[in-house]
């Protein structure tokens, strides 16, 4: 039996190259003809003056666009992802960064792979093992990145909705700005499974865009999760994450 996927894309506009990348990604998704899915773009209002709303960037496509108007001062990818899960129709979730590319069989391969993995290891999966980072201004040569060299769920990953909320705890909305949130979720998932996360044997492409510097705050939060994993999971599970009104922050003052 084929699964039905809710594809969740966190988004914040303001860069022409990223807008082009988003449309290329949507073209890739819409070519997936063998699996039923919905596309949910969760758009945080841009902090960049004059940035185009996603509705004007993507044109007349069949998807749901959720606009978050609370300005938290920086892009909060975790918040967007949690709102997307709250709004999703299906129990099988695929999170995709807005700069990815893949062939027409991708969702079908994910569906088939989930079926052959025994529970509970089929509840979360990194959906690539090789990422081809395309060349650009500050990445002059194409690079091949192995997922085994990274402790992250970043790029494209699958999760069952029950596992997402009731085991993993959702995404940590304390992360604001570039980086850290996918590493945080990766460490919590491996802690729960007590085993390395399953990786799909598949090559993806990462479209070029200018890179942002990871914040020191994000790195600190990720360190807290590594040192207090179960505590962080319980705090997240007991929090009301994914509210449209704004990010929900957990109290980390007593952790060091």
Give residue 222's pLDDT: 80
Architecture of domain 4-237: Alpha-Beta Complex (3.90)
Q: Is the pLDDT of residue 72 over 80?
A: no
Global pTM reads 0.94
pLDDT top residue among 192 and 74: 192
On the question of pLDDT at 50 being above 70, the answer is no
Mean pLDDT across the chain: 91
- Give the whole-number percent of the chain exceeding pLDDT 70: 94
Mean pLDDT computed over 78-96: 98
Domain ranges of the chain: 4-237
Rounded mean pLDDT, 125-150? 88
What are the residue ranges of helices labelled H in the chain? 16-30, 54-58, 77-87, 106-116, 161-163, 181-193, 216-227, 229-237
- Contacts for 119 with CB less than 8 Å, ≥ 6 apart: none
Given this model, what pLDDT does residue 237 score? 97
- Going by the DSSP 8-state scheme, the letter that residue 115 receives in this structure is H
For residue 21, pLDDT over 70 is answered with: yes
pLDDT for res 212: 65
Residue 200, pLDDT above cutoff 90: yes
């Amino acid at each position: 039996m084929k699964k039905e996927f809710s594809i969740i894309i966190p988004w914040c506009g303001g860069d022409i190259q990223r807008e082009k990348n988003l449309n290329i990604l949507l073209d890739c998704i819409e070519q997936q003809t063998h699996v039923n899915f919905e596309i949910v773009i969760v758009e945080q209002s841009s902090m960049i003056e004059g940035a185009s709303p996603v509705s004007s960037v993507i044109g007349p496509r069949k998807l749901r666009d959720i606009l978050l108007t609370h300005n938290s001062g920086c892009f909060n990818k975790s918040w967007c992802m949690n709102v997307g899960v709250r709004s999703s129709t299906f129990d099988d979730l695929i999170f995709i960064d807005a700069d990815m590319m893949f062939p027409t069989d991708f969702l079908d391969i994910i569906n088939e792979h989930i079926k052959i993995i025994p529970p509970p290891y089929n509840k979360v999966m990194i959906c690539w093992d090789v990422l081809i980072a395309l060349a650009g201004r500050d990445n002059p040569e194409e690079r091949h990145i192995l997922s085994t060299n990274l402790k992250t769920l970043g790029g494209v990953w699958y999760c069952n909705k029950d596992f997402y909320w009731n085991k993993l705890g959702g995404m940590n909305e304390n992360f604001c700005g570039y980086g850290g949130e996918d590493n945080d979720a990766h460490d919590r998932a491996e802690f729960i499974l007590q085993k390395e996360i399953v990786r799909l044997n598949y090559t993806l492409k990462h479209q070029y865009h200018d890179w942002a510097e990871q914040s020191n705050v994000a790195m600190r939060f990720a360190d807290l999760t590594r040192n207090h994993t179960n505590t962080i999971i319980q705090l997240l599970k007991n929090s009301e994450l994914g509210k449209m009104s704004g990010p929900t922050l957990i109290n980390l003052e007593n952790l060091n």
